[in-house]
């Protein structure tokens, strides 16, 4: 009886794992797009400049990471983005906004040659 139940649950989990993974990925993409759209609405005129600064922050974090000057590239990129935007655009980004922008910049940076 235990072997049957174990085999049944194993088969069920194997069948549901791809569905769950797809649903999770879809939910994360939807959440990311909503955050990006909210940011575009909030800072519509400055959005392209903020993305440009984010690209600079991502490349700076990559270079600092390669040189072993920093431990966490994402934290460095977020802090540097907040510094650049505050200094040059005179706006303060919330932490989750800065994190979403950095994720967008990382995606753009690593996929720019793909398309």
Reference 74, options 86, 57, 53; nearest CA is: 57
The pLDDT confidence band at residue 115, using thresholds 50, 70 and 90, is low
Q: Using one digit for the tens of pLDDT, what is the confidence trace for 49-78?
A: 988 999 999 999 999 999 999 999 999 999
The pTM of this model reads 0.63
CA distance 89 to 55: 15
Q: Using one digit for the tens of pLDDT, what is the confidence trace for 70-107?
A: 999 999 999 999 999 999 988 888 888 888 889 888 88
Residue 54 buriedness (CB in 10 A; 0-12 / 13-18 / 19+) = buried
Reference 105, options 62, 43, 44, 45; nearest CA is: 62
The whole-number pLDDT of residue 2 equals: 79
The whole-number pLDDT of residue 1 equals: 67
CA distance 86 to 52: 14
């Amino acid at each position: 009886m235990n072997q049957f139940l174990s085999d049944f649950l194993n088969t069920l989990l194997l069948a549901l794992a791809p569905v769950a993974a797809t649903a999770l990925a879809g939910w994360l993409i939807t959440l990311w797009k909503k955050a990006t759209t909210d940011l575009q609405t909030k800072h519509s005129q400055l959005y392209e400049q903020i993305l440009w600064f984010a690209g600079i922050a991502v490349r700076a974090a990559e270079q600092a990471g390669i040189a072993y000057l920093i431990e966490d590239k994402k934290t460095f990129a977020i802090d540097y983005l907040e510094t650049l935007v505050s200094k040059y655009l005179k706006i303060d980004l919330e932490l989750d906004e800065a994190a979403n922008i950095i994720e967008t910049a990382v995606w753009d940076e690593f996929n720019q040659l793909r398309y």
